[in-house]
Structure 1
Amino acid sequence: MTFLRRPTWFAVALTVVGVLVFVRLGVWQLDRAGEKDELLRRFAASAAAGVEDFGMIAETPPVDRYPRLDLRGTFVPGHVYLLDDQTHAGQVGVHAYAPFAPDGKSRWLLVDLGFLPKERGANPRLPPLPTGETRVRGLYVPPPGVGIRMGGNPLPAQQGAEKSMVYVDLGEIGVDLARSLYPRVLLLDPDPATLYARDWTPGFMPPARHRAYAFQWFTFAFAALVIFVLLHRKRR
């Protein structure tokens, strides 16, 4: 003889859907934790890696690492792109990007100059770009993630040398420059002589917190099963 009363189809469906949703959310959080672990590993490995030949990886960069580059060329004058609503050390500001023309290459490379805090809510005054032959060193990484593009990017409608953007779209920037860009951006090495902050440690939710959220979702799934049993248990 079973110890449970016969449940309604609605109760069964609600419990099954709830358990599946909670389990799926828990698995998703575990996947996110794995992605963050991999990203941290790549940054740590790149910090001690040697310089690679840009010509070998420029068009098809390796998916499993962030190559270190040492390039010569010139910054393209008259074009700076400000990624708005960025944070660093508790300050709100922008990341400044500038196009760079490597010697002997037909395409341009977008360079992340670093972070500058806003000045009384307004965009900061940018230090002038180096002129003439310039040497740049840093990590060749994918552009920052976009997320949900709500409202579109204001970049295409702007004029002038400095333009703001809410996400980095290499296609849009390439159209604005009338020049094709390489598929990744260059994170410049830290330089004590510059005003830009270049702390490239990823500022995202740590993997341990994702795993804690996963445990929470799995707990909800178990709780849904316990509640189902308690509600349908036969009483003496």
Structure 2
Amino acid sequence: MLGGFRRPPWWAIALTVAAAVLFVRLGFWQLHRAAYKDDLLRRYAAAAVAPPQPFDLVALQPPPDAYPRVQVQGSYLADRVYLLDNPKHDDLGGVEVYVPFRPRGGDRLLLADLGFLPGNGTGAAPQLPPLPQGMQSLRGLYLPSPGHGIEMGGNALPRQAHWPKTTIYLDMGQIAADLGDKLYPRVLALDADPSSIYVRVHALDFGDMPPARHRAYAFQWFSFAIAVVVILLALNRRRGSRRRS
């Protein structure tokens, strides 16, 4: 037995070991998640500058956890525009603009993300520039949709009689039903264009859990593992006997 410490009960040792092992495992799990997301960011950055590939190769079965840069020809459904009004980079108020695009020879629609259109600070919807007519050639990243959360009040699209329509969540199922047509499983985030009024700075959105947050949680779990061992030792430290007078 170490000097200065008394032997703790077996159950205290067992609980401490179990808790420490659990906390260490959770810490390594958080580090694994951070490394996984770091790898996604690297692949995303590499895809943004990769040569474009034909859209047909990945249209219906895009590679998981990959973001191919594609080229596709077709035409816009210029009278069907959706405005996503909750982008995170809208300090002045603004919308992310999505337009259905009919690929040449395709049997469904591709939702094209034109980019972010800043507002003017008044709260009014930004003025949309006219879309080009006829056959177009688009390039961009073939990305998962931004997703959706709990939409209070249900699907608002059928209740809007005029275009463009506004939504706070991009639900691909709702968009497909609203258009009365099938959609490809991902959206096309168009390449940046210096001559365009749209702001096209696309980035992976991990919500509230970027890689740095995972590493912070890993540090917390490892700290908890150390803490339970320290507590066990502190509770079983021998106290010096008082000198009797």
Q: Tell me which interval the TM-score lies in, with the shorter structure as reference length.
A: 0.7 to 0.9
- Residue segments in structure 1 that go unaligned for 5+ positions in a row: none
Shift of 1:54: 1.8
State TM-score, norm by structure 2.
Answer: 0.80
Contact 1:5 1:234 in 2 (8 A): no
Partner of 1:114: 115
Bigger mean CA offset, 19-28 vs 175-184: 19-28
Partner of 1:53: 54
SS at match of 1:87: coil
Q: 1:89 and 1:176, CA in 2 relative to 1: closer, same or farther beyond 3 A? A: closer
Mapped to 2, the partners of 1:78 and 1:72 lie a distance apart of 19
Return the letter of the residue paired with 1:176. D
- 1:53-202 equivalent positions in 2, closer than 5 A: 53-88=54-89, 92-119=93-120, 120-146=122-148, 148-149=149-150, 151=152, 154-159=155-160, 160-202=162-204
Shift of 1:200: 1.9
Q: How many residues align?
A: 233
Question: Which residue among 196, 212, 216 is the counterpart of 2:216?
Answer: 212
Return the letter of the residue paired with 1:135. S
Contact 1:69 1:139 in 2 (8 A): yes
Mapped to 2, the partners of 1:222 and 1:134 lie a distance apart of 60
Deviations 1:91-125 (A, max 9, x none): 55321111100111110000111012233234322
Partner of 2:6: 3
Question: Which residue among 211, 220, 224 is the counterpart of 2:228?
Answer: 224
Shift of 1:5: 4.1
Contact 1:115 1:198 in 2 (8 A): yes
Shift of 1:230: 1.0
Mapped to 1, the partners of 2:18 and 2:236 lie a distance apart of 18
Mapped to 1, the partners of 2:179 and 2:20 lie a distance apart of 51
Q: 1:131 and 1:24, CA in 2 relative to 1: closer, same or farther beyond 3 A? A: farther
Return the letter of the residue paired with 1:182. Y
Q: Identity over the aligned pairs, expressed in percent?
A: 49
Mapped to 2, the partners of 1:27 and 1:48 lie a distance apart of 32
Q: Which structure: larger Rg?
A: 2
Q: 1:219 and 1:122, CA in 2 relative to 1: closer, same or farther beyond 3 A? A: farther
Contact 2:111 2:186 in 1 (8 A): yes
Contact 2:85 2:167 in 1 (8 A): yes
Deviations 1:132-155 (A, max 9, x none): 222211111111244x53636544
Mapped to 1, the partners of 2:166 and 2:18 lie a distance apart of 44
- Residue segments in structure 2 that go unaligned for 5+ positions in a row: 241-245
Return the letter of the residue paired with 2:216. A
State TM-score, norm by structure 1.
Answer: 0.83
Mapped to 2, the partners of 1:23 and 1:91 lie a distance apart of 44
